[in-house]
Amino acid sequence: MSAQDSTFLKTEHEEKSLRQQKLVRMFLMFMTAMLVLPVLGILSVIVARGAPGMSLEFLTEPPRANMTAGGISFALIGTVWLTAVALLLALPLGVSAAIYLSEYARDNWLTRLINIAIVNLAGVPSIVHALFGVGAFVHFLHFGKSILAASCTLAVMTLPVVIVATRESLQAVPQPFREACWSLGATRWQTIWRVVLPNSGSGILTGVILCVSRAVGETAPIMFTGAVLYAPFSPEGVFDQSMALSTHLYNVSTQIPNVPPGLPFSVALTLIGVVLAMNATAITFRMRLRGRKKW
């Protein structure tokens, strides 16, 4: 072998580095599989046992025979009500708070305290939010047990997610964008409204996706503040009580006797489908907004 050919041979150090990289890659793949496989297994069981009970009648008919037969139409409509009102409450508050913290607030002890409070609020158990919702919205504000009280509780729960996602997205917009607007005479608010927010829309929608995913699946907060075991009609306003898919799943799984074995799985499959449908809508808008970015 010539000296020129031996120049391109791997040294012992390079071979050792490649072996280490291969081991790390295999370890990370194993950890990823350990996370994904249980999820796929759970989804497979839910689909296999819940799909036979899925039909148009199941989605459009109300429960019958003490909720051991019929469909889930009232629970499905109630879930849409609760999630939509929670989003309408959480998004304006969360985005406004994120704009203030990112674009207006100075870095001092007060803003640092607010940031710590936001992080701590995200870690509060849902049952604590439920008790807060009962005291603040049901009794103090006299909303009663209603969709409005339950949605306000969900909005408080999801506010930290919206604030953090929006703030990170706002801070990702390059500072020269702002400076260019200011040099042309634009005010701070005009810069935020015309430049910063349009370029951070994808990150805000990420917060919406996380908000929807958490709001749809919560049980304790709405059980204490607005969801009922059974409603003889679908809600007509925010001061009505309603059924919800998450609480209905809990009830047919643990509280109601003589339930067909496949019914809880069908309800769970519908709940997953609602979450995926809402998330898919937000993801579609996010991808379109990302496609418009020029940086």
Describe the crossing of helices 12-50 and 263-291 by its angle, rounded to 10 degrees: 130
Q: At 229, give phi and psi (nearest 5°).
A: -65, -45
Closest of 248, 234, 271 to residue 78, by C-alpha: 234
Helix (H, G, I), strand (E, B) or coil at 234: coil
Which residues, 6 or more positions from 270, have their beta carbon under 8 angstroms from its beta carbon?
50, 54, 58, 59, 72, 76, 245
Closest of 242, 237, 292, 198 to residue 79, by C-alpha: 242
What single DSSP character describes residue 139?
I
Closest of 210, 203, 195 to residue 90, by C-alpha: 210
Q: Which residue has the tokens 């349009």?
A: 198
Which residues, 6 or more positions from 250, have their beta carbon under 8 angstroms from its beta carbon?
219, 223
State the DSSP H helix or E strand holding residue 69, giving kind and residue range, or none if neither.
strand 69-70
* C-beta neighbour count of 109 within 10 angstroms: 7
Burial of 171 (0-12, 13-18, 19+ CB in 10 A): middle
Helices and strands in the chain: count of H runs, count of E runs: 14, 2
Asked if 246 contacts 218 with a C-beta cutoff of 8 angstroms, the reply is yes
The predicted pLDDT at position 4 comes to: 52
The predicted pLDDT at position 27 comes to: 94
Residue type, 259: V
List the structure tokens of 106. 């100075």
DSSP 150-166: HHHHHHHHHHHHHHHHH
The predicted pLDDT at position 177 comes to: 87
Residue type, 21: Q
Which residues, 6 or more positions from 218, have their beta carbon under 8 angstroms from its beta carbon?
126, 154, 157, 246
Q: Report how far apart the first and last C-alpha atoms of the chain are (Å, whole number).
A: 50
- Per-residue pLDDT 10s for the chain (295 aa) are 555 555 566 777 788 888 899 999 999 999 999 989 998 999 999 999 999 989 888 988 888 888 888 889 999 999 999 999 999 999 999 999 999 998 898 888 888 898 888 888 888 888 999 999 999 999 999 999 999 999 999 999 999 989 988 998 898 888 888 888 888 888 889 999 988 888 888 788 888 888 888 888 888 899 999 888 888 888 888 999 999 999 999 999 888 888 888 899 999 999 999 888 888 887 787 777 666 665 5
What single DSSP character describes residue 192?
I
CA distance readout (Å), 188 to 91, 192, 196, 198, 215? 21, 6, 10, 15, 33
